[in-house]
Amino acid sequence: MTDYVVEGRGITRDYVTSGGLFGAAKTVRALKGIDFAVERGKTLAVVGESGCGKSTLARIITLIDPATSGQLLIEGKPVDIAKGGLTREMRSAVQIVFQNPYGSLNPRQKVGEVLTEPLRLRGGVPSADRRRRAMAMLERVGLKPEHYNRFPHMFSGGQRQRIAIARALMLNPALLVLDEPVSALDLSVQAQVLNLLKDLQDEFGLTYVFISHDLSVVRYLADRVMVLWNGTVVEEGTRDALFSAPQHDYTRKLFAATPEADLDAIRARVERRRLERTAG
């Protein structure tokens, strides 16, 4: 039996828009019956143009917004935030890393506070243990112990995203939703963060839902790819099958219209710079 961390069955999401001064209110269906499932330890990439429903789906999966209809299951258990009753364990099971590392961290909190706050809010973890776990997580994402007492503005964009990833992992989530996590970073930093995400997935057995418009990044990180268009799934399959022989006309147009960065070249450049620093 396949072990799915997250499943969606017939997920819809409606928004009511104002009709203006004289018009009637209208209902817009942003998601139109989405079905998906993500195996434990795997990555599902959700791709599509702006406005296709990617971010709406991400907000439902991360329990920020409720679905209008359909069923969401986290580790086999139905979850409906519209009806309430979410436990701390359910909230802890799903975490998100946002696109903008500059806006996702509280500028008034030191890094140590950023990392220990989730443990403090959940309760049951002594202060000394919270600090110990935060220091260990800093090291695991490639930062240093002295960074614990610094503020977010003292870091580069790539370092801030590492802090955001570390914060998301503090509660040992089963599922991590990555909403365009490298699109705001320089190309030379993107490969470093992507390699980190791969290493963390292997080490902790993490499951990812990866929201992206960058197909080169998707090709590097994803196991399966789901293509959204106008709130519907037009194609879904393994990464290799989708990239080698896309079946839907929209998928072919999307692939043809999207410029791709050469991640192999980026990684080679990063490694070359590392060797130059070591030699110097």
Counting residues of the chain whose pLDDT is more than 90, the rounded percentage is: 67
- pLDDT at residue 184, as a whole number: 81
| CA-atom Rg of the chain in angstroms | 20
Nearest to 10, CA basis, from 102, 101, 64, 73: 73
Asked whether the beta carbons of 225 and 26 are under 8 A apart, the reply is no
| Max intra-chain CA distance, the chain | 71
Query: Residue 73 CA to chain centroid, in angstroms?
Result: 18
Q: Tens digits of per-residue pLDDT, 201-248?
A: 999 999 999 999 888 889 999 999 999 999 999 999 999 999 999 999
Q: Tens digits of per-residue pLDDT, 76-113?
A: 999 988 887 777 788 889 999 988 877 888 899 999 99
Beta bridge partners of 82: none
pTM: 0.87
- The Cα–Cα gap between 42 and 185 comes to 24
Q: Which domains does the chain have, with CATH numbers?
A: 4-279 (3.40.50.300)
